[in-house]
C-alpha cells in the first residue's frame, strides 16, 4: 500500500490523540516536529486492502523532526488486557504495510511499536512475544506501557 493511500484514507486530520474503548494515546507536538495519526483498524481502506480477517493494530503514527533525516513509523495497539494478541496484531500490521509498498522506503524509516495497556491488569507478556517484538522492531523500539503520552518514546527521550 503506497503511503499516499494511507494519507488519503486513514489520516486523522489535526489529531494528536486517539482513543478507543476508554484507552487513549496522545503526543504533544514540539517545535520542528511533524506528527500524523492514521487509523488503521475498523472499516478503513487499509483493512479492506489486507483482508478483513487479518489481525491489524489500531493506529499508525508518523513522526519526523526537521533536523533528522530518519522518519518514525510507530504502530500502536490499545488494549485492555490481551497483550499477547496485541503483539500479533502489531507484527502482522508491519508485515502487511511492508509487503504493500512501505518496504521500498525502509532506508529512512525506523519502525516502532507501542502497546498501550489500560487499567491495573498485570502485563502478562509471554517471553516468545517479547522476543518477537525485539526481533521485528529492535531492542529499544517497542514498549508495553500504561503511559498515555507516547511523545518521549517517539523522540527516543526514554
pLDDT, average across residues 84-104: 82
- Of all residues in the chain, the percent with pLDDT exceeding 90 is 43
Report for 2-16, 65-79, 94-108: range of highest mean pLDDT: 65-79
- Answer yes or no: is pLDDT of 62 > 90: yes
Nearest to 40 by CA among 23, 67, 18: 18
Q: What is the pLDDT of residue 83?
A: 83
Alpha helices in 39-126 (DSSP H): 45-50, 83-99
Tell whether the model's pLDDT for residue 111 goes beyond 70.
Answer: yes
Please give the pLDDT value at position 117. Answer: 87
Three-class SS state of 17:
strand
What is the C-alpha radius of gyration for the chain, rounded to an integer number of angstroms?
Answer: 15
Give 144-158 pLDDT, tens digit per residue: 888 999 999 999 865
The number of domains in the chain is 1
Select, from the ranges 1-15, 44-58, 88-102, the one with the highest average predicted confidence (pLDDT): 88-102
Please give the C-alpha separations between residue 44 and each of 2, 38, 53, 110, 121, in angstroms, as whole numbers: 15, 10, 13, 24, 30
Q: What is the pLDDT of residue 105?
A: 60
Provide the residue range defining the domain that includes 28. 3-155
User: Could you give the CA distance from residue 158 to residue 152 in angstroms, rounded to a whole number?
Assistant: 6
Q: Is the pTM of this model over 0.75?
A: yes
Amino acid at each position: 500500500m503506497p503511503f499516499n493511500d494511507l494519507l488519503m484514507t486513514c489520516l486523522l486530520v489535526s489529531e494528536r490523540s486517539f482513543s478507543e474503548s476508554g484507552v487513549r494515546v496522545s503526543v504533544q507536538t514540539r517545535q520542528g516536529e511533524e506528527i500524523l495519526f492514521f487509523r488503521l483498524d475498523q472499516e478503513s481502506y487499509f483493512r479492506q486492502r489486507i483482508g478483513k480477517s487479518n489481525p491489524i493494530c489500531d493506529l499508525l503514527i508518523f513522526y519526523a523532526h526537521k533536523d533528522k533525516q530518519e522518519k518514525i513509523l510507530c504502530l500502536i495497539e490499545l488494549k485492555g488486557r490481551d497483550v499477547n494478541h496485541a503483539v500479533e496484531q502489531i507484527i502482522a500490521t508491519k508485515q502487511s504495510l511492508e509487503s504493500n509498498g512501505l518496504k521500498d522506503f525502509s532506508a529512512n524509516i525506523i519502525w516502532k511499536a507501542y502497546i498501550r495497556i489500560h487499567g491495573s491488569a498485570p502485563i502478562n507478556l509471554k517471553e516468545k512475544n517479547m522476543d518477537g517484538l525485539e526481533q521485528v522492531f529492535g531492542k529499544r523500539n517497542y514498549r508495553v506501557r500504561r503511559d498515555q503520552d507516547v511523545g518521549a518514546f517517539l523522540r527516543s527521550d526514554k
